[in-house]
Structure 1
Amino acid sequence: MWCWMAVSFGLRAVRQWCYRWNRRERFVKMDRIKAAVLFDCDERQREELEAAGKDMVEFVYVPEDMSREERLPMLKQAQIIFGQPGLREIAQCENLHWIQMSWAGTDIYTARNGFPREVALTNASGCFHIVIPEYVIAVLLELCRNLKTYAVQQQERKWSPIPSEMLLYGKRALILGAGDIGTGVAERLCAFGVKIIGMRKTDRNYPDCYDGMITPDELDQELQKADIVINCLPGTAATKGLLNKHRLCLMKEKAFLVNVGRGNVIDTEALVSVLKDGHLGGVALDVVDPEPLPEDHPLWHMEKVVLTPHIAGRSFGFSKDTENRIVHLWCQNLKRYLEGKELVNRVSFETGYASK
């Protein structure tokens, strides 16, 4: 009899435990945070995201080829969105608490009206300090060694050395925007023996890869000394039109200009004008204003200009290394979000910059 009672008690205990566990499972599934991912992540990246979610997050992976009308119901349920939804979509997402971008530039939101300020916005600053600087080195070497012209000669089966080249060694470079990307450029230019001056809001405590640091009020003086000017600044109200015709004309006649920041930092009409006048030795533009350039725009046909379609920092579908860096950042921020901690790279709508 005692044996039977013990077995009966044990069975009741097991049934109660199973009942409580099933209730807990139903509760967890109902209560999990919904996160929409607007990129085609591979299996390893999904596993990393799922691990960071700790069974507290339900991920919905939205195919990139899905139309906005089709994906809107998914976004409406999301508390978190990884990617760059449109402002009209955001306005209809009543459950949304946080958007984690895969870009460093935030002007699609900060430079326009309509983003709900109660929604946290973080960017992917810190993930492009390799891929964009490598692009800068590539186009500078192209300009220095006339590789664009030689590529045309190859198509024409023409063997004709060009008696004008420039070395990076010994030159003076001015980097506008001495943040993560600008510092990555500076680190790589050091290996070529380039003297590097950076520009940022404060000139104190700058990294060793810089030979000096200026503030914006010293820009006009430094432009006259630089052999190379590289813009890494984001698009904000303060940076729009920074390189106007006056400042472009301050640059040396044979100076190189590279833009990997935002197109509207350079006055495009002014740039066309100074190039037609024979000023500047070469220009490489990965970003332009307007973007994309109209088919009849004169920049397309200028010999001294290298144009690329905003690919210096492309990630998903282009660079697996950069993809993984972005996903890792997402995971770190997701863990902070779940723990109630301050998010990394929180964007300020007043400055357009992200916190560290």
Structure 2
Amino acid sequence: MKQMNIVAITGMDLTYLQENLPKELNNRIQFHWFKSSKEASAHLANADVIVTAGKMNPDIMKQTPNLKWLQTLSAGVDKLPLQELAERNIVLTNARGVHTIQMSEFTLSLMLQWVRKTNLLHERQQQHMWDDQLSVGELYGKTIGIIGAGAIGEAVARKAKAFDMKVIGLNRSGVPHPAYDSTVSGEEGLVYLLSQSDFVVLLLPSTAKTKGFMTKEHIALLKPNAFLINLARGDVLDEQALITALQERKLAGAALDVFQQEPLPADSPLWSMENVILTPHIAGSSARYTERVSSIFYHNLVAILEGSEMMNKVDLTEGY
């Protein structure tokens, strides 16, 4: 039986993935890991499988005539050649679900950081200032609106309920889900969620349909005391409209992990705004990331070898 040739091209540390490959696969595959496409070039012509971390040099498609399956170690697929994959009937699977724990914890940490004013308290500490008159808030009784009520959204909802928050979720169907107090859909549902929420969390995938999802008009619907968290992609909202709303105090604050341009340009006003928390696209990071994504890859590797059902197959037309 011909061995399946797998070529991983990523700067991610795949030591765990390599060392824990199921033993029964040892004689059925050849696994090669390279940090760049240039290093991998000699192996691409024979590659049956490409493993990537979410981005791929477009030239790779021209060098892989035998490619049958592309596994991305990220959830987002917006930086992959979806149209060409579809034209060549190449299966694409992603790491959907691998971010659920860390991103839901990160969301709660940002909300707590905001209401408990930990940034300001840290500044006071650096200034050796004892300010016991500082007024802080709480999450109890507040409403959180989750836009993109998938696996991560559900995990955020369950954690928010532990803080006695009210949870509104927006999904495509509007079908009720036990993790949410109410589930809405469509433009009418979005307007309701934005107008009712004290915290709004964006967890949408980046697709042709979600680009520019949050418009200037939508941002204007938020409460003046609302706090917006974007952990989706920078292009799902009107970044300039958000900056203006924050500068004019029409919106209390925001936490942004993703931006229209990354790294965030040094001249962006977001860097110096006291009502903004910035993080460098690390909401999904975890010391256990490779371990979790490896289990998805192992499952799919066995599935493609044995003709069984693969998990996390991406609809190449929809982009998720």
TM-score calculated relative to the size of structure 2: 0.92
1:269-288, aligned counterparts within 5 Å?
269-288=240-259
The residue number in structure 2 matching 1:298 is 269
RMSD over aligned CA atoms reads: 1.8
The residue number in structure 1 matching 2:290 is 323
* Closer, same or farther: CA 162–42 of 1 in aligned 2, 3 Å: farther
Asked whether the equivalents of residues 176 and 233 of structure 1 are also in contact (C-alpha less than 8 Å), the reply is: yes
Of 19, 40, 48, which residue of structure 1 is paired with 2:13?
Answer: 40
Give the drift of 1:55.
1.7
Q: Secondary structure at the match of 2:80?
A: helix
1:246-257, aligned counterparts within 5 Å?
246-257=217-228
The residue number in structure 1 matching 2:182 is 212
Q: Secondary structure at the match of 1:108?
A: coil
Quick check: which one's helix share is greater? 1
Higher Cα radius of gyration: 1
Task: State the one-letter code of the partner of 2:163.
Answer: F
1:100-111, aligned counterparts within 5 Å?
100-109=71-80
Asked whether the equivalents of residues 176 and 200 of structure 1 are also in contact (C-alpha less than 8 Å), the reply is: yes
1:51-80 alpha-carbon deviations (Å, 9 max, x no partner): 362521111122x3xx43222223332111
TM-score calculated relative to the size of structure 1: 0.83
1:159-308, aligned counterparts within 5 Å?
159-161=130-132, 163-206=134-177, 208-217=178-187, 218-308=189-279
Give the drift of 1:151.
2.0
- 2-side partners of 1:154 and 1:326: how far apart? 39
Task: State the one-letter code of the partner of 2:180.
Answer: Y
Task: Extract unaligned runs of 5+ from structure 1.
Answer: 1-27
The range that moved more, 149-158 or 118-127, is 149-158
The residue number in structure 2 matching 1:83 is 52
- 2-side partners of 1:167 and 1:60: how far apart? 50
Asked whether the equivalents of residues 85 and 91 of structure 2 are also in contact (C-alpha less than 8 Å), the reply is: no
Give the drift of 1:162.
6.2
Asked whether the equivalents of residues 216 and 241 of structure 2 are also in contact (C-alpha less than 8 Å), the reply is: yes
Asked whether the equivalents of residues 7 and 51 of structure 2 are also in contact (C-alpha less than 8 Å), the reply is: yes
Task: State the one-letter code of the partner of 1:322.
Answer: Y
Q: Secondary structure at the match of 1:188?
A: helix
Task: Extract unaligned runs of 5+ from structure 2.
Answer: none
The residue number in structure 2 matching 1:332 is 299
The residue number in structure 2 matching 1:21 is none
Give the drift of 1:160.
2.9
Task: State the one-letter code of the partner of 1:59.
Answer: F
Q: Does 1:153 align with 2:124?
A: yes
Q: Secondary structure at the match of 1:99?
A: strand
- 2-side partners of 1:249 and 1:72: how far apart? 50
- 1-side partners of 2:213 and 2:40: how far apart? 39
Q: Secondary structure at the match of 1:59?
A: strand
Give the drift of 1:310.
0.5
Give the drift of 1:50.
4.4
The residue number in structure 2 matching 1:53 is 25
Q: Secondary structure at the match of 1:93?
A: coil
Asked whether the equivalents of residues 86 and 316 of structure 2 are also in contact (C-alpha less than 8 Å), the reply is: no
1:113-153 alpha-carbon deviations (Å, 9 max, x no partner): 65453221110001111011111111111111111122223
Asked whether the equivalents of residues 91 and 114 of structure 1 are also in contact (C-alpha less than 8 Å), the reply is: no
1:12-58 alpha-carbon deviations (Å, 9 max, x no partner): xxxxxxxxxxxxxxxx5xx2111123343235x32432436252111
* Closer, same or farther: CA 336–170 of 1 in aligned 2, 3 Å: same
- 2-side partners of 1:42 and 1:352: how far apart? 29
Of 347, 350, 355, which residue of structure 1 is paired with 2:314?
Answer: 347
- 2-side partners of 1:69 and 1:346: how far apart? 28
- 2-side partners of 1:171 and 1:229: how far apart? 11
- 1-side partners of 2:274 and 2:227: how far apart? 13
Task: State the one-letter code of the partner of 1:151.
Answer: H
* Closer, same or farther: CA 93–165 of 1 in aligned 2, 3 Å: same
